[in-house]
Structure 1
Amino acid sequence: MRTDGDSWDIVTSVGLTALGVATFRALETLDPEPMIHDEYAAWFVEAAGEPHFLQKLDEPAAGTVGLFGRFMGVRTRFFDEFFAAAWQRGVRQAVILASGLDARAYRLDWPAGTVVFEIDQPRVLEFKSKVLDEHGAVARADRRAVAVDLRDDWPAALTAAGFDPRRSAAWSAEGLLPFLPGSAHDALFERIDSLSAPGSCVATDDFGRGMDQRHFDMEEKFFGPNPFGNLNVHDLWYDDARADPGDWLAQHNWSVHRVTPFDLAATYGRPITDLPAELPAELLDRLRRASYISAEKHR
């Protein structure tokens, strides 16, 4: 369970979920027709040595990906394309909030002069940098790690690292929102807004609101074992009151676009058409109400 001011490394608590997502990015990369390419993800899984995820990586042809893994491929591609669209509009600052084991600073073709800021817990960033350095990885942008908790004064740490609020920026909050208390969740968007010059953009995924342990139990019943092994992700989420991200942005001078994971999967040529026929309507409705949100601040 979460506590105020809790922290983690890459094999505990919230950090372990980042390792799980990296595992599924590595598995998607091994697919004969992958939606994304992340050759770095497997390095993190191997270096962490967590048995559950190592086993998944060792058995890529044994049906280990499942629905969750397919959604991770869709999610990763969505955010990849979000950043590409931003730099095509001339944006040269990117901020990856709760960056975890995200290797976009290394694997995307950033234009010259782009600065990528990665914000996360100190021990997570230390682990990532150590693994990348050991493999001799070279960033394709000016990568700047910002070790700070998103519940604290991260704008001060970000600006100290060289972020310029007078210039447009692309912000991502991928797989983050349910892990924040309601107050920090709402403050996150307030701070993004205050730091964003016109022409800035933000992307996030909205999938956790209204989900409880009953939904997790149903997912395991119909979709197979928990992809995170013995970790109950629901124990790490907050379910207190918070603003709807898309609605909040729309009310604060941002143009907002929403798309469902099902629509994205179809767009990417990987439609999800094999849901169990006996899936309860309640769970199906929750899955279909999940959305990916992108928004641009009006000029």
Structure 2
Amino acid sequence: MRTEGDTWDIVSSVGMTALGVAAARAIETKRPDALVHDEYAAPFVVASGDSDMKRLITDPTLWTQIPFTSGFIGYRSKFFDDFFLSAATAGVPQAVILAAGLDVRAYRLDWPKGEVVYEIDQPKVLEFKRQVLTESGAASRSDRRAVAVDLRDDWPAALVEAGFDPTSPTAWSAEGLLPYLPGAAQDALFTRIDQLSAPGSTVAAETIDSSVDIGRITEQESQYLKDTPFGKVDLASLFYTDERTDPDELLTALGWTTSSLYIQELAERYNRPLAPVPEPLAQMFDCTRYLTAFKPS
């Protein structure tokens, strides 16, 4: 179970979920109708040394046992890719990827010249990422700045110390993050984002409807996945299920304008049908929203 101040590397706790998502991006990249291409996803999985995750990228048949066969990670990754590129094209000069994990948008996307991309995550995760990218000879397409800090701590101070300019508009992302934060930390996250955001800033976040019992769903999911390569990732023990404010409501109260899409709507937007997902996994997909918010002048 999670504890206050717990930490992790890429093959433990929350870090293992980031590795699993990298494996899913590696498989997405191989699809003939791929929505994203991530040439570094597979090298991350191989470098981790985790045998189960390595099997996922060498034996595609294993994906028939798990929900990512629906292409869920493709839809999600494409949504956040489009979000960042749209903001950058509109003149937003800096981006902040919260809980960046093994995200490599600083390397993958065609950023405008001078775009600054901040990646916030646990120190051990960012160090692993640095090592693999260095060994791969990767070159960032942006002014990438890694910020090693826990999002439950004073991350705004660390972000500003890394050069972040709170007087300039910012594009923020919270992808695959919120359930891993205590309710108070989630509420504080969006309050801090508002405080650090100049007019013209925008936020994209993956959220879960407050009407669902996420604890019960994750327990069911853990049982469903126990005999798959994801069996070692017990989501029920990693997610926080305490009370929190819906990010849409919180940001709206702070003066932001918001809109949301569900996974089915992303499938329609990207013209790739959503494959059937078995229960209880379908419940999590059905209640997941993709929120976009804009801070007007």
Q: Which TM-score tier does this pair reach, normalised by the shorter chain?
A: over 0.9
> Cα–Cα, structure 1 residues 227 and 88, in superposed 2: closer, same or farther, change >3 Å?
farther
> Cα–Cα, structure 1 residues 275 and 215, in superposed 2: closer, same or farther, change >3 Å?
same
> Cα–Cα, structure 1 residues 112 and 55, in superposed 2: closer, same or farther, change >3 Å?
same
Tell me how far apart the structure 1 counterparts of residues 223 and 6 of structure 2 sit (CA, whole Å). 31
TM-score (norm 1): 0.92
Task: Please name the residue that 2:270 is paired with.
Answer: 268
Task: Please name the residue that 1:104 is paired with.
Answer: 105
Offset, 1:95: 0.3
User: Is 1:84 paired with 2:82?
Assistant: no
Task: Please name the residue that 2:2 is paired with.
Answer: 2
Alignment of 1:165-244 (within 5 A): 165-207=166-208, 209=210, 210-216=212-218, 218-219=220-221, 228-244=230-246
TM-score (norm 2): 0.93
Tell me how far apart the structure 2 counterparts of residues 32 and 202 of structure 1 sit (CA, whole Å). 31
Secondary structure at 1:253's aligned position in 2?
A: coil
Secondary structure at 1:206's aligned position in 2?
A: strand
> Cα–Cα, structure 1 residues 273 and 56, in superposed 2: closer, same or farther, change >3 Å?
closer
How many percent of aligned residue pairs carry the same amino acid?
Answer: 53
Tell me how far apart the structure 2 counterparts of residues 226 and 199 of structure 1 sit (CA, whole Å). 44
Offset, 1:214: 3.7
Tell me how far apart the structure 2 counterparts of residues 229 and 74 of structure 1 sit (CA, whole Å). 23
Task: Please name the residue that 1:44 is paired with.
Answer: 44
Secondary structure at 2:119's aligned position in 1?
A: strand
Contact 2:56 2:63 in 1 (8 A): no
User: Is 1:53 paired with 2:53?
Assistant: yes
Tell me how far apart the structure 1 counterparts of residues 192 and 12 of structure 2 sit (CA, whole Å). 28
> Amino acid of the residue matched to residue 78 of structure 1?
F
Task: Please name the residue that 2:288 is paired with.
Answer: 290
Contact 2:99 2:177 in 1 (8 A): yes
1:41-95 Cα offsets, whole Å, 9 max, x none, are: 1110010011111001111255448533411111111000000110111011000
Tell me how far apart the structure 2 counterparts of residues 86 and 9 of structure 1 sit (CA, whole Å). 31
How many equivalent residue pairs? 295
1:132-161 Cα offsets, whole Å, 9 max, x none, are: 001110000000000001000000000000
> Cα–Cα, structure 1 residues 169 and 147, in superposed 2: closer, same or farther, change >3 Å?
same
Secondary structure at 1:113's aligned position in 2?
A: coil
Contact 1:28 1:73 in 2 (8 A): yes
Offset, 1:174: 0.5
Tell me how far apart the structure 2 counterparts of residues 5 and 256 of structure 1 sit (CA, whole Å). 32
Tell me how far apart the structure 2 counterparts of residues 48 and 223 of structure 1 sit (CA, whole Å). 21
What RMSD in Å do the two structures reach over aligned CA positions?
A: 2.0
Tell me how far apart the structure 2 counterparts of residues 211 and 295 of structure 1 sit (CA, whole Å). 25
- Select between 44-53 and 59-68 the one with higher mean Cα deviation: 59-68
Tell me how far apart the structure 2 counterparts of residues 184 and 268 of structure 1 sit (CA, whole Å). 33
> Amino acid of the residue matched to residue 37 of structure 2?
H
Secondary structure at 2:132's aligned position in 1?
A: helix
Offset, 1:230: 1.8
Contact 1:170 1:201 in 2 (8 A): yes
Tell me how far apart the structure 1 counterparts of residues 216 and 197 of structure 2 sit (CA, whole Å). 38
Task: Please name the residue that 1:68 is paired with.
Answer: 68
> Amino acid of the residue matched to residue 44 of structure 2?
F
> Amino acid of the residue matched to residue 269 of structure 2?
T
1:149-192 Cα offsets, whole Å, 9 max, x none, are: 10000000000000000000000010000000111110000000
Secondary structure at 2:60's aligned position in 1?
A: coil
Contact 1:170 1:202 in 2 (8 A): yes
Tell me how far apart the structure 1 counterparts of residues 289 and 48 of structure 2 sit (CA, whole Å). 31
Offset, 1:273: 4.9
> Amino acid of the residue matched to residue 38 of structure 2?
D
> Amino acid of the residue matched to residue 31 of structure 1?
R
Task: Please name the residue that 1:21 is paired with.
Answer: 21
